[in-house]
Structure 1
Amino acid sequence: MTDTAQRARPTPGNDSTPRLEMRDISKRYGGVRAIRHADITVMPGTVHALVGENGAGKSTLIKILAGAEQSDTGTIAIDGAPVSIGSTTDAIGLGVQTVYQEPQLFPELTVAENFFVGREITRGPMIDWRAQAPRMLELLDTVGLDRSVASQPLGGLSIAQQQQVSIAKALLEQASILILDEPSAILTDAEIEVLFGVVRRLAADGVSIIYISHRLDELFRIADAVTIMRDGETVSTEPIGELSVREIAERMVGGAIDEGEHVPGEHGETVLELEGLTLDGAFADVSLSVRAGEVLGLYGLIGSGAAEVGEVVYGMRRATGGRMRVVDSDRQPGTPADAKRRGIRMVPANRSSQGSFSFQSIAFNITVGSLGLLGKLPGWVSPKAERRIADDLIGRLAVKTPTSRQPLGAMSGGNAQKVVLARQIVEQPKLLVLAEPTQGVDVGAKEEIHRIIADLAARGTAVLVITTDLAEVQRISDRVLVFRSGRIAREFPPSASQASLLAAAAGAEDEPVTQEDDR
């Protein structure tokens, strides 16, 4: 076992000495200043939220703390003692551990093997599994996992359970500062409650937790304090109870949030019509229609079947029953390529693996789906045409980048998301399917993506938005269909209350619909 694993566990902190202090931190990448004058102070045994728009500097600040980057200026102190963090090994030795949104583990290995990979306890040339077992089982208990998972392949566990394994593995090194980067972004409500239970237990045991999330409402259920960043600087650090969600959002963007009422636009002919559509094991008897210029929201909790409807419409899956009429044809798209030929485009929820080429340029990512527009000869691409199309959409979608030649992987999440969306609208689609269009982006990028959706509808595109974001579906949709257990539970107008939408999705007794809701 490593020396760092032998350190005493952190003690719950009534101590007035901060567990972590980062002062006047700055970092420049070439001509771009990522952060400047950034500060954060975290007390022992507390949950400290860190929020900011994509590009605000919070990721860079965390990378510096985790040893993945080195600051240009500033100081770091842990438990009152100045420290130098020159590598991730230094950070781990000082008790700093990071758990990312997507577990950084080996799915083909068992949970036990993942725990000790690279730091096994050995007896001669052999791994001493008996010596490793007590500590592993203790940590599984700490994060609320059944001990039986130890012998199971990690890939067979749910994402929530894999995340719990990641947290337990971080605690193996006796972490006193645990960074959780967007831990709830891909979890169900029930799984989030499990996560919160783990976080509360760790804080009670003295671990200081830096909690990064774009879900501002959940911060009030788990955080003790919040640090807000904007444009590479710390705006404020305050107890969470002294702020509201709106105040945090406005400090993040540096101005008031426009929450104007959604006004449906003019709608044209029917572009998509489903009648009794069924996909065994996912959804059944789904009937709906979307018209040109209309934004139809499909809202449901994870596993409701709404996501699979979008996949069938785009030809990623084949319906097992019912009828579909898409763009003047009763034939269901057999493949995504078939869907594209009929004017259908889709932005998937899993954009990192299905929707982007991170090492390629922004221009490549925007135009790769429309190569026919880039040259007269097959296989030949005009760089001039590529730049012209890319620059036009970069301006139209307000993508923040110095050049279209920048690699997509170097961009913030919100801007990268807009690039993925840009690819699908190079040629005006007749129907655009958007799965979780603003998942994992900050409030400012969310506003811009909502504006883009409204602009597409105004240009005549029929838009099908599939989302688990309650506020989002209420705000941007002309109509909302709520899914529950693979079926449409109810249709709502845009003026319906969030309580009504959530009650329908959760199967609770519906909130009485007011006259205003029925408009």
Structure 2
Amino acid sequence: MPSKDETESLLSLRGVTKRFGGVRAVRHADLTVMPGQVHAIVGENGAGKSTVIKILSGAEQLDTGTITFDGRRTQIRGPAHAIELGIATVYQEAQLFPELPVAENIYVGREIRRGARVDWAEQNRHVVELLGRLDLPSSLATRAIGTLSAAEQQQVSIAKALSRDVRVLILDEPSAILTQAEIDVLFAAIRRLAEDGVAIIYISHRLDELFSIADVVTVMRDGDTLGTYDIKDMDVRGIAELMVGGEILEGSHDRKPAEGEPRLGLSGLASEDRFKDVDLTVASGEVVVLYGLVGSGVAEIASAVYGVQPITDGTMTLEGRPVRPRSPRHARSLGIHLLPGNRKAGGMFTFQSVAFNISVGNLQVFRRFGGWMDRGREKDVAHDLVKRLDIKTPHERMPVSSLSGGNAQKVVLARQLVERPSVLVLVEPTQGVDIGAKEEIHLIIGELAEAGTAVLVTTSDLGEAIRIADRLVVIRDGEVFAEFPPSARQSEVLAAAAGEHAEDPGDAKNPDGQELAS
């Protein structure tokens, strides 16, 4: 029989588990969601939040455990069944058709019909009612999605969910790409929905904002639900410590950085509305890690250094000389190389050989007189880098698709080392690799720094950031927020990324070396 909590709640999970091959993504998840309540779920990357949301939205099936919806045990068979129950998910990136107007986007594929014809008048009337429920103007109904702001598109996604008589609305990182004014509008809409009895599940990395919108917060770590807490009884630091398991250092930083001269310098650097006033230096032989939550501007700073994101203000110097990379090709000519975060989409030719993937992008190195490729040199360089980075492959002619994720990542890294870079930018260098390959890549990063390379790393893995950084710089809302030494505690860094200054002024310093006020 269902428990009393299950019968009183709108939705509950008990003892839910989920495996993907040999990886247990969710070990034990419990969740009780009440109608009219904003229920936040937080946890580090890999904590199990996304898997729980996929189970609730019907995208994945649980292995063991129970789901109770509206007092009855159920198995959510797929996305259509979830929507039929009244469970809708709105993701960070709007899943809408930019060319179509708002009204058509909301009812696309399930138009309101009178006989064989679409009843446009009735459909538009329903859309205007939905927009009014979110305090949006009726004129929005006829505007094309592509002309709307990110916040307006997100509200349209919520209106689309409401058009299906939603009872549980899941919002996945809804504020990550919004300005503060847009977040205020979003929160007002969420409160109205909660007042109407809709249960809101709110996923966010921005811990500070939870205190403005959430009623309760569930904390997950390593696939387990640690507990659900009344938000009034918590603070940012307390949530952060639960997420990381207390004041535990992740790994160790036993490499002494070389005392080299500043190699890369950023002063007042800005790019449109992505980041602003970024002051940062990376010396030769130093590993500087940029850490920030989703939408913080970390990725855009790395892109600007590599000539992808345009620099609109401030200065960038390389060994004291002003530079402004116009493109990735220009950046590479300056000695700035980048390892992309998404190796499959942005860094790898899957069905080509290891040797091809190492040489591509470095063709000027292998050109002979007359423009022909020096295949012998290509093979020798590939062989040398395969050995140096310990890439496990029978030979350089093997397609990259035959390698493990970690070895494929090392192939993409090898490409950046054909010519010794002056500055090496690594974006999520161990994303999607196993723990053994992760350790190997960390060692390679240390060796590159010891050889005099200036290394700038962006990572969403907090444990990795603390382990490899000589200096750890927290970026928040497109600005440098705090700087930490290698001895930083995870909860301190996470709290800073969420907007809280260090409790102990001696534990963190701002970029100018001044102590941060608590």
Instruction: Identify whether the pair has TM-score above 0.5, normalized to the shorter chain.
Output: yes
Letter in 1 for 2:170: I
Question: In structure 2, what is the equivalent of residue 17 of structure 1?
Answer: 8
| Structure 2 partner of 1:339 | 331
Q: Select the residue among 152, 160, 172 that pairs with 1:161.
A: 152
TM-superposed CA distance for 1:171, in Å, is 0.8
Choose which of 39, 44, 57 in structure 2 pairs with 1:48. Answer: 39
1:244 maps to what in 2? Answer: 235
- The residue that corresponds to 2:504 in the other structure is none
Candidates 254, 259, 268, aligned match of 2:260: 268
TM-score relative to the length of structure 2: 0.68
Native 8 Å contact 2:391 2:410 kept in 1: no
Q: Deviations over 1:89-118 (max 9, x none)?
A: 111110000111111111222212111101
Q: Deviations over 1:332-382 (max 9, x none)?
A: 544312322433134679x59974669899x99996977889996588799
- Secondary structure class of the residue paired with 1:34: strand
Q: Which residue of 2 aligns with 1:314?
A: 306
Q: Is the 8 A contact 2:59 2:78 kept in 1?
A: yes
Aligned to 1:27: 18
- The alignment-based identity, stated in percent, is 47
CA distance change for structure 1 residues 317 and 516 in 2, over 3 Å: closer, same or farther?
closer
Return 242-251 or 225-234, whichever deviates more. Answer: 242-251
Partner of 1:10: none
User: Could you tell me which of 36, 39, 44 is aligned with 2:27?
Assistant: 36
Change in CA separation of 1:192 and 1:388 when aligned onto 2, cut-off 3 Å: farther
| 1:69 counterpart residue number | 60
Match of 1:207 among 174, 198, 222: 198
Distance 1:424-1:384 versus aligned 2 partners, 3 A rule: closer
Aligned AA for 1:268?
A: G
* Matched residue type, 2:124: A
Whether 1:136 and 2:127 are equivalent positions in the alignment is: yes
Where 2:329 maps in the other structure, the secondary structure is helix
Is 1:218 the counterpart of 2:209? The answer is: yes
TM-score by length of 1: 0.67
Distance 1:467-1:155 versus aligned 2 partners, 3 A rule: farther
Residue of structure 2 aligned with 1:462, choices 436, 439, 454 = 454
Residue 161 of structure 1 aligns to a residue in which SS?
helix
Farther off after superposition, 273-282 or 166-175? 273-282
Deviations 1:283-323 (A, max 9, x none): 99999865424678999999999987765542336779998
- Residues 358, 412 of structure 2: 8 Å contact kept: no
Is the 8 Å Cα contact of residues 365 and 420 (structure 1) preserved in structure 2? no
Give the 3-state SS of the residue equivalent to 1:105 in structure 2: coil
Name the CA shift for 1:458/1:326 in 2 (closer, same or farther; >3 Å). Answer: same
Structure 1: gaps (5+ residues): 1-13, 394-402, 409-415, 442-447, 504-510
Q: Does 1:150 align with 2:150?
A: no
- 1:99-152: per-residue Cα shift (whole Å, max 9, x none)? 111111112222121111011012344322110112211222223433222222
CA contact (8 A) 1:228 1:236 kept: yes
CA distance in 1, matches of 2:41, 2:356: 30
Shift of 1:405: 4.1
Q: Pick one of 114, 120, 123 that aligns with 2:111.
A: 120
Instruction: Output aligned runs, 1:101-500, within 5 Å.
Output: 101-258=92-249, 267-272=259-264, 291-293=283-285, 311=303, 313-316=305-308, 325-326=317-318, 332-346=324-338, 355=346, 377=376, 405=403, 429-433=421-425, 460-462=452-454
Which piece of structure 1 moves more, 123-132 or 384-393? 384-393
- Asked if the contact 2:10/2:69 (under 8 Å) is kept, the reply is yes
Q: Is the 8 A contact 1:111 1:154 kept in 2?
A: yes
Give deviations 1:226-264, integer Å, cap 9, x for gaps.
2222332222222223333333333333342459xx999
Which amino acid in the other structure matches residue 216 of structure 2? Answer: A
> Quick one: which amino acid aligns to residue 338 of structure 1?
H
Contact 2:315–2:322 (CA under 8 A) maintained in structure 1: yes
Gaps of 5+ in 2: 367-373, 393-400, 433-438, 486-491, 501-509
Instruction: Give the SS at the match of 1:251.
Output: helix
Query: 2:275 and 2:56 mapped to 1: Cα distance?
Result: 45
TM superposition shift of 1:166: 0.9
Shift of 1:36: 3.1
Judge conservation of contact 1:366–1:419 (CA < 8 Å) in 2. Answer: no
Letter in 2 for 1:28: R
What one-letter code is carried by the residue in structure 2 that aligns with 1:271? R
- Matched-pair contact (CA < 8 Å) for 2:219–2:228: yes
Aligned length: 469
